[in-house]
Amino acid sequence: MAEVFAEFGELGRVVTRLHPRRGDPGVWESSVGGPLVWPVGESWPTCPGHQGVQSAVRVEDVRAHRETMRDRVRSGRELTWEEREFLDSVEDGSEVLVEQSVPLLPLLQVFARDVPWLEWPAGRDVLQVLMCPMDHADEPDFDLPGVSVWDRWNAPPTVVRWRSTDSVGAVGAHPMPSMVQFDHYYPEPCVLFPERLVEYPHLWELPEDLAEAVEEWEETSGYRYRSQLSIVPGWVLGGWPKPGATDPPDEMACAECGGEMLPLLRASSMEWDAKRMSWCPIEEFDRDPADREEAKEPTGVVYGRENTLHLYRCWEDGEHPMQQMVL
């Protein structure tokens, strides 16, 4: 865009496509849904807000459900009657008695060595994001350090940790929840292939003259700015805020210092649009169609109906409380 319109020279922001792909990430690897580097002596965050009878899905059923769906896609076979019934029961959820605080799910871990261009808080080289596996009707009134919720979709709150690998010491195994509110809250373990890109704002965020010029240029060039050349889909770090929010991100201020909030993480289920394919990495074109289909929606995590999780960080100090939105 900067080659076509000089005005775009000022508008590019660094964004990182994380490119999650199903795999078996280790503790010391960047991952979605993988094990986190967690000091032996540090307690794993739990959410006490769900005791009682809940509508939920057992994690082992989520795994079985996904295995069946994968097998169906690969073999092209029809589902049996029993499989259909099981899939319906997983999608509907069932009554589960929750007796204790629920351990949070590991959502994301990123090492500075994999994304050195991110603005890391001084001395920190691991970013970790955890998520409650259950929806929340209200802002949690209990203590979940590191979380600040601002969200109109009752989405599960996230907790963010920035760590220094030098001070972690001995690393221990951490618990995992045995159930989730919906199957699409359970992240499939993925390894990451981070890629640095330049992102331009959504068409609605451009100055009016420039937006009109871009729309005219689309007519002759054949490109589509909105779907191909501006906001990047999938799991990304940094970049531009999503426009059109009722509570626009540019009115957000840090709860601790009043400073500006900027995008840290965006997570949406689809890595590219199956029709346009413009964000599909060229490496995927040579792969088996079933593998490519799996890579298009690798994490299994969907917020609401095709919504996106947005986490914003304080520009002044990345360790100030995050703000979360699902839009």
CB of 100 to Zn ion, least distance (A): 12
By the 8 A CB rule, do 232 and 279 touch? yes
Q: Which is nearer to Zn ion, 8 or 312 (CB)?
A: 312
Q: Which is nearer to Zn ion, 54 or 228 (CB)?
A: 54
CB of 321 to Zn ion, least distance (A): 8
Neighbour tally for 277: CB within 10 Å: 13
| Residue partners of 243: CB distance under 8 A and separation at least 6 | 201, 202, 204, 205
As a whole number of angstroms, the distance between CA 180 and CA 220 comes to 49
CB of 128 to Zn ion, least distance (A): 17
Residues that bind Zn ion (CB under 5 A): 47, 49, 132, 134, 254, 256-257, 259, 314, 316-317, 320
As a whole number of angstroms, the distance between CA 91 and CA 222 comes to 41
How far CA 12 is from CA of 261, 311, 313, in Å, comes to 18, 20, 19
**Token pair belonging to 227:** 């779907």
Q: Which is nearer to Zn ion, 1 or 104 (CB)?
A: 104
Q: Is 187 helix (H, G, I), strand (E, B) or coil?
A: coil
Residue position matching structure tokens 């795994």: 63
CB of 110 to Zn ion, least distance (A): 21
Q: Which is nearer to Zn ion, 4 or 257 (CB)?
A: 257
CB of 316 to Zn ion, least distance (A): 5
CB of 299 to Zn ion, least distance (A): 20
Neighbour tally for 81: CB within 10 Å: 8
